[in-house]
Structure 1
């Protein structure tokens, strides 16, 4: 007598017809928001959906493709309506919109900041609108390319660093150790650092123990994007 193979309790063998790509991507974002990038795997996603991994692979080829789908969904339609009418305000609005999305889903920041895989979430409409607007502003050829790269770096860079991952293992002990280390700065050797510690600690890069999800760097972000736009405008004047 032959016996049927046992299925794991609570797991349903969804087929490609009964499981949608949208359902998969939504579950992936849910895992990211709840558990962080370290728990972002196809196996964990299958457990979340209570399916076998093969049901996911009917729709999404691999983890890299899933990352691209997640980024595409979260960062959809970032450009402000006034982008073409005022390139300065348009760039500022783009950077603010991006940061706002990352604040809603802070655990996605490491996936964007450290992997070229995120390039797979190509948004040619956004690229075209940025390039055409910068070209109309006066940037041409190589300078257009460099101005475009500056805008994208401004959009992604500050926010990715602001929402960098806090260590999950022994996080409380790590935070306390960082706090103690920062506050023990030698005032004689580093007088400027010690004298400004009150405004610097946990509100500046390198000297913090919490990321932007808990301790946002709002004022620094606004200064940064304004400086980027001012710098681009100065290039045009030259």
Structure 2
């Protein structure tokens, strides 16, 4: 990298971007104040001037990743109104993001958002809006919509989580004995498409039985 940033010129965004760069190269273990300080060529106390240690750093990074992820997904859904297509695009965009940035995805999904925090509440609302965008045309009642959102989230998140574990195995982070279904002789791409087909059928069933 170029000349290290001087301590007095650092901004919170500098810290977040440096942390994400470390995260992409080295995985979750690199998400720490000491590692980011080395990346920027400064002493750790310079980080504490802007963020509350490792906890504050992880929060800032998680919020930045969520914001980037939602922007990326929404950009792919512009001018599309057919609900099944929206659902597929959103599901594929999420999987693509996880495959491109496994460490970012892990940090993003593991961080527990708090509705009482204004910044985090905004991310939560944006996330729900993105989710509902692909389902709103089904015109579900509030209870049915919650059921569908939970079902879709569990299916997509669960599938991607297992894929991420498979990737970790290949990289030596977990043992091969912990692998199972994702190693069977069947394309995970095909299985993902079948799962999305099943979700669409299930959503339609819920819609028809919604009272």
What's the counterpart of residue 227 of structure 1? 198
Structure 1 match to 2:60: 66
Runs of 4+ in structure 1 over 6 Å off = none
Report deviation, 1:75. Answer: 0.8
The residue aligned with 2:7 is: 14
Q: Map 1:158-237; keep pairs closer than 5 Å.
A: 158-164=159-165, 166=168, 171=172, 174-175=175-176, 178=177, 204-205=181-182, 207=183, 217-237=188-208
Structure 1 length as normaliser, TM-score? 0.66
Q: Does 1:81 align with 2:75?
A: no
Say if 1:32 and 1:40, in contact at 8 Å, map to a contact too: yes
In 2, the alpha carbon distance for the partners of 1:221 and 1:118 equals 30
Structure of higher CA gyration radius: 1
Query: TM-score normalized by structure 2?
Result: 0.73
Structure 2, gaps ≥5 residues long: none
Seen in structure 2, the aligned counterparts of structure 1 residues 155 and 53 have a Cα distance that, compared at 3 Å, is farther
Which sections of structure 1, spanning at least 5 residues, go unmatched? Answer: 1-9, 183-201, 209-215
- The offset of 1:123, in angstroms, is 4.9
1:97 aligns with 2:97: no
For 2:126 and 2:109, locate their aligned partners in 1 and report how far apart those are by CA, in whole Å. 21
1:229 Cα deviation after fit: 1.9
Match of 1:54 in 2: 45
Matched, 1:122 2:123: yes
CA RMSD of aligned residues (A): 3.4
